Amino acid sequence: MLEIEGTVSVITGGASGIGFGLAQSIGRQGGEVLIAEPDQARLEAACARLAEENITARWAVCDVRDEASVQGLAETAFAGDLPVSILVNNAGVSSPRARVQDKSMDEVRALFDVNFFGVWHGCAAFAPRMIEQGTPAAIYNLASENAFFPAVKRSAAYIASKHAVVGLTESFREDVPGFISVGAIFPGFVQSEMTEGPLSERGMPADVFGTRILEQMRAGEPVAVAHSYNIVHIDERHDVLNAAHAKYAPRHEGDDSMDIRLIIQKLRAEKG
């Protein structure tokens, strides 16, 4: 299990919602938290709330859309005396729902700047420093149940951004040494500013979600989940994929000869 007591965990978008819930969970287990977002007043208020629980928390103003700002966050995190054990690329936004053909491209790009490129910036800024640090650590990226299935209609931009996060995470895992765990977090309906409204109270409390997710991060799980009913929708997708392969591309002898990963492995082995 990844040790968090006596270490620092960095959470973007940590002043509210899932990020704040994770900060509470980490702090309750003895870890120090560094929360980041663009609004200093929100950060100060969040740190004050954490202090009420005797959680050691500090803040840094950071706009994940800005690569230099995220590099600055990393410098701040690694400048202290404690090792950095966890980065959660949590910052995310939603945008008004609309059909693809009606959606403003400015809104789409603005959403991707936070939900996808903000995650990319975090991975790129923290990975080299964690590698140099040389101690067990973890980087987790916020995906969504929407990366499994469209949970809410007319949300293509948001859904696509979360699919992109999963693709980034799966590839990034192979870019770092084994002592750094890399995973994706797949929230379902969690109470947060993004889910405010008449249905919000039906969502999972953020601190409950944070507690469930933290243990999976500490265990180095490649995926972190908390909403059990999602497996119903996931199985539906797998059923469609399995049926398509069974009908149009069934397994047969020698089919592995066209698998690109196996081809690359074979070529590398031949080169010695």
Residue numbers annotated as active site: 158
Residues in the chain: 272
Residue 229's nearest CA partner among 185, 189, 183 is 189
Residue labelled with tokens 């007043």 = 41
Report the C-alpha gap between 176 and 73 in whole angstroms: 20
Cα-based torsion angle of the residue sequence 23, 24, 30, 33 in order, rounded to the nearest 10 degrees: 20
The answer to whether 96 and 110 have CB atoms below 8 angstroms apart is no
Tell me the DSSP string of 119-149.
Answer: HHHHHHHHHHHHHHH-S-EEEEEE--GGGTS
Helix, strand and coil percent figures for the chain, each rounded to 5:
55, 15, 30
Task: Please name which of 39, 128, 116, 114 lies closest in space to residue 77, comparing C-alpha atoms.
Answer: 128
Residue 121 tokens read as 């910036």
